[in-house]
Amino acid sequence: PSWFSRRIQQATPPDTEILLIDSPPMVSTWTREIINSADFVLVILSPDGASYSTIPAVQEILSETVRPYGEAYLINRMDARLTLSRDVQAGLENFLGDNLLPFTIPADEAFREALGRQLSIHEHAPNSHALARLNELAGWLVRNVIDA
């Protein structure tokens, strides 16, 4: 195992079933270590050209290690009212195929408002459409990664 994997194993209680690591979006040595140590990788993309352009570098790192549960891609902060967002989503669907999750997390100002008020999104906007989609993501992860 890599130095990162060894450190995670040392720091994680033995009965831990899931460990989530939110890594920086840029490709770096740190990101490479995280990806290569993971059993599953969820790549978060924004519906813009910048995210689209980083996919080849991410896929190069993903190809270095076989993960038991693979990887998936998710579009976050999707605003279907914007032509650019819809166009990027269509391009990502064509490029990534089944690796792109069949749902997106919509753009929702409630997240920023909750952060500004130091509340969870559950407390601030329990009926948020984006929160419902996050719950859908949690269910997908349970079915396809945790219980797989």
Full pLDDT tens readout for the chain, 148 residues: 677 778 888 888 888 777 788 776 777 888 888 888 888 999 999 999 888 888 998 899 899 988 889 999 999 999 999 999 999 999 999 999 999 999 999 999 999 999 999 999 999 999 999 999 999 999 999 999 988 7
The pLDDT value given to residue 71: 94
The pLDDT value given to residue 1: 60
For 40-98, give the DSSP string: -EEEEE-SSHHHHHHHHHHHHHHTTS--TT-EEEEEEEE-TTSHHHHHHHHHHHHHHGG
How many residues are recorded in the chain?
Answer: 148
The pLDDT value given to residue 5: 79
